[in-house]
Amino acid sequence: MNLKEALKLADRIVFEKTGQHLDDLQEAVLKGTVERETYKHIAKEFDCSESNVRQIGSELWQILSEKLGEKVSKTNFRAAMQRLQNSNVLNFAKDVVVTGSFNTCGEARHPPDQPNPHPQNQETSHQDLSQMPQLGAFFDRTSHIKTLTTSILQQNNRLITITGMSGIGKTTLAVQLVQQIKDEFEYVIWCNLDTSPTLGEFEANLIQFFSQSDKPDSPTTNQKALSLIKYLQKHRCLVVLDDIHNLFSSGELAGKYKPEYEEYRSLFKKIEKISHQSCFLLIGWEQPREVTQIKNQNTQINTLQLKGLDIAAGREILRDYGLADIDNYSALIHRYQGNPLWLKSVATQMQELGGCVTELLLNDIILLPEDLKDVLQQQCDRLSELEKQVLSWLAKASDTINLTQLLENSRIPASDLVNALQSLSRRCLIEQQANFYTI
């Protein structure tokens, strides 16, 4: 759900309760909330006192909480509006969002009961988001959402990948994106590859989903692969595949299909090469090797390697644990590279153990809570022997190290070394600056 939609819904609820539309300050508070601004920042922008902004916020949360029957606050406002949109609790919610028939706050407004002049045929949209996780608090990432939206809706890219380390926020970003663009598609489905379906099972599921609007007597072909592409040509579909690393082998360089999933290669190739009007969004720790190789030559593919959150967003996460105001919060966020999962893990430990642990962090110590170790272990277990060797050389180096030094020290054949570096970099485990590498 985007800002405009969230504001429209909130405006309707406030109007219903008070008979008045949102005023400028209320709108600024909600806008700032969606954009993860602090009350202090909103007050500064609006040139009023922070306490005034807090008061307005608290009144709004009360009205919204009453209407939704759940506690709505600054941290879950957008998610609550999203849930409202997804549910039928308020029968106006869908009209507001899907048809855009109500003006945004500030423009001329319709009273709540005015009929929608442009009803959209609800039957044209099919969504199976049962496997999509619920969106929690969402900070930062505005530019990523914008780039992905342009890539999907304007450039009509057919295959898009989001890769990055565990916990960096890939799934969360994709959920937010899907919420914002799903109404542009006739079919939207979110599939998690945790269960590792064979290609046959996967295609059968998709075809079953896409065929729900087929008339009973319409001819369908028995050749599954062919008919899947036909559906992608006939309808505008968005297919999200999360955790695609399940298709790839452990102990190999990144992106090598497990033998039993080799067939997915030809599916992804078809999706890229054959003309259609749909989009596949692949999310995971690794992406297919061939996707990376052709990234720059083919405009139908777009790839995004996700890095950590910025300091302001990291601080918002720490805020939930009562740690937003510790002296060294920016060093802490920097040390954990803005990875929201890592931050949450270490913040939980700090919250549980209190001030003494916070002091430790002043001394550049890296805490590794057990749950965080498990997450990192899982990713390290996937590495090939060659990658482990290279990582260990990089770890031993007291400073950044370049390719020539690595070659001399490690005695790994040049071609193998370069392949390992490329794979580690695709996994986001190493970074390259000029000719130098660091973990």
Ligand X SMILES: Nc1ncnc2c1ncn2[C@@H]1O[C@H](COP(=O)(O)OP(=O)(O)O)[C@@H](O)[C@H]1O
In angstroms, what is the C-alpha Rg of the chain?
24
Name the DSSP class of 157: -
Instruction: Choose from ligand X, Mg ion, none: what does 164 bind? Cβ within 5-8 Å by kind.
Output: ligand X
Instruction: Please give, one letter per residue, the 3-state secondary structure of 205-252.
Output: HHHHHHHHHCCCCCCCCCCHHHHHHHHHHHCCEEEEEECHHHHECCCC
Instruction: Choose from ligand X, Mg ion, none: what does 237 bind? Cβ within 5-8 Å by kind.
Output: none
In the complex with Mg ion, the residue whose CB is nearer, 120 or 305, is 305
Instruction: Choose from Mg ion, ligand X, none: what does 169 bind? Cβ within 5-8 Å by kind.
Output: ligand X
Q: Please return the burial class of 19, using the count of CB atoms within 10 Å of its CB with bins 0-12, 13-18 and 19+.
A: exposed
Q: Taking contact as CB under 5 A, which single stretch among the options 121-129, 164-172, 294-302, 362-370 is the one that binds Mg ion? A: 164-172
**Rounded distance between C-alpha atoms, residue 274 and residue 288, angstroms:** 18
Instruction: Choose from ligand X, Mg ion, none: what does 308 bind? Cβ within 5-8 Å by kind.
Output: none
Q: Taking CB under 5 A as the rule, which mask of x and - marks residues 165-204 in contact with Mg ion?
A: ------x---------------------------------
In the complex with ligand X, the residue whose CB is nearer, 89 or 380, is 380
Pairing state between β 301-305 and 159-163: parallel
Q: Taking contact as CB under 6 A, which single stretch among the options 109-117, 119-127, 340-348, 365-373 is the one that binds ligand X? A: 340-348
> Shortest gap between Cβ of 407 and ligand X (angstroms)?
33
Residue 248, beta-bridge partner list: 257
H/E segment holding residue 376: helix 370-381
Which of 78, 101, 105 shows the shortest CA–CA distance to 23? 105
Task: Name residues whose C-beta falls within 8 Å of residue 242's C-beta, 6 or more positions apart in sequence.
Answer: 131, 170, 171, 174, 190, 191, 192, 193, 283, 284
**Judged by CB under 6 A, does residue 168 bind ligand X?**
yes
Query: Considering only residues 128-157, where is the footprint of ligand X by CB under 6 A?
Result: 136-141
> Shortest gap between Cβ of 141 and ligand X (angstroms)?
5
What DSSP string describes 18-81?
A: HSS---HHHHHHHHHHHTT--HHHHHHHHTS-HHHHHHHHHHHHHHHHHHHTS---TTTHHHHH
Kindly determine how many residues on this chain lie close enough to bind ligand X according to the rule CB under 6 A.
Answer: 20
Binding ligand X (rule: CB under 6 A), the pick from 101, 157, 171, 423 is: 171
> Shortest gap between Cβ of 170 and Mg ion (angstroms)?
5
**Judged by CB under 6 A, does residue 170 bind ligand X?**
yes
Cα–chain-centroid distance for residue 123? 27
In the complex with ligand X, the residue whose CB is nearer, 234 or 307, is 307
> Shortest gap between Cβ of 171 and Mg ion (angstroms)?
3
Binding ligand X (rule: CB under 6 A), the pick from 72, 127, 151, 169 is: 169
Given a contact cutoff of 8 angstroms between Cβ atoms, the answer to whether 101 and 81 are in contact is no
Instruction: Choose from Mg ion, ligand X, none: what does 139 bind? Cβ within 5-8 Å by kind.
Output: ligand X
End-to-end CA distance of the chain: 37
Q: Taking contact as CB under 6 A, which single stretch among the options 98-106, 336-344, 363-371, 405-413 is the one that binds ligand X? A: 336-344
> Shortest gap between Cβ of 78 and ligand X (angstroms)?
11
Pairing state between β 401-402 and 436-438: antiparallel
Q: Taking contact as CB under 6 A, which single stretch among the options 6-14, 110-118, 165-173, 184-192 is the one that binds ligand X? A: 165-173
**Rounded distance between C-alpha atoms, residue 128 and residue 211, angstroms:** 13
Q: Which residue ranges make up the site for ligand X (CB under 6 A)?
A: 136-141, 164, 166-172, 309, 313, 317, 340-341, 344
Q: Which residues are near Mg ion by CB under 5 A?
A: 171
